Amino acid sequence: MRPTKPLEIVVYQDVLCAWCYVADARLVEVRRVFGDTVRWIHRPYALRLRDSVPTQKELHEWVAELERARREPEGRALSKELWLANDPPRSSIPALAALEAARLQGREKRDQLAAAMRRAALELGLNVTRPDITLELASSLGLDMNRFFAAWKSPQTRKLILEEHRLASERGVRGVPTLVIGARWMLSGLREVGEYVQHIASCLQKHEHGEPMSGGPQMLH
């Protein structure tokens, strides 16, 4: 008998990550395949936790990752300008906090802001961690700006980002994009659409048969 609850998939992401940009495009197709049998939850996993100017080595690594992601069909619009400009992001936390603030006005608003931030940062090269850019993007989506600003600037929101990072790390998350499926299986790194579908379908079958869980999330290879 099929469980009444859909299979829950937590997607850990950072809006500054080029691989998450590509993965998100692929997961659009995956969501169509599974419909309402799967419940998708997006959670923050900051790749830059500390608030500090990136070193030349760090900038080189970010640019190199982006160049590799550009080779994927979904990554052709990616631009490295974000990391070559005079004000590269110091930390992921302000952008991820903005998404959590938008989430309070509905999941759709959070998803819209995430997409807008990804395009602005990774296609247009804009530093979306800057307050002026964040506020402009949020306003363009019709968010209640008083509510958004209060939640975005709340120390509790930033604490939430740090706590999410700690909990995710305890689950075995080491980078993004990472999917934790049904709190039992983990799929780390970018995958092809067919591979996402294959792994999720297998997990969904086990979920529907109510197979017992043992230990923490199992890594899927």
Q: What is the CATH number of the domain that holds 64?
A: 3.40.30.10
pLDDT at residue 221 in the model: 54
Domain membership of residue 1 (yes or no) is no
Q: CA 208, 36, 138, 68 torsion: positive or negative?
A: positive
pLDDT at residue 101 in the model: 98
Domain membership of residue 2 (yes or no) is no
pLDDT at residue 207 in the model: 86
Domain membership of residue 200 (yes or no) is yes
pLDDT at residue 3 in the model: 52
The one-digit pLDDT tens for each residue of the chain (221 residues) are 455 689 999 999 999 999 999 999 999 999 999 999 999 999 999 999 999 999 999 999 999 999 999 999 999 999 999 999 999 999 999 999 999 999 999 999 999 999 999 999 999 999 999 999 999 999 999 999 999 999 999 999 999 999 999 999 999 999 999 999 999 999 999 999 999 999 999 999 998 887 655 555 676 65
- Expressed as residue numbers, the domain containing 180 is 7-219
pLDDT at residue 218 in the model: 73
**Domain tally for the chain?**
1
**Cβ-contact 95, 42 below 8 angstroms:** no
The neighbour count for residue 18, using CB atoms within 10 Å, is 27
Alpha carbon distance 221, 219 (integer Å): 6
Alpha carbon distance 118, 98 (integer Å): 13
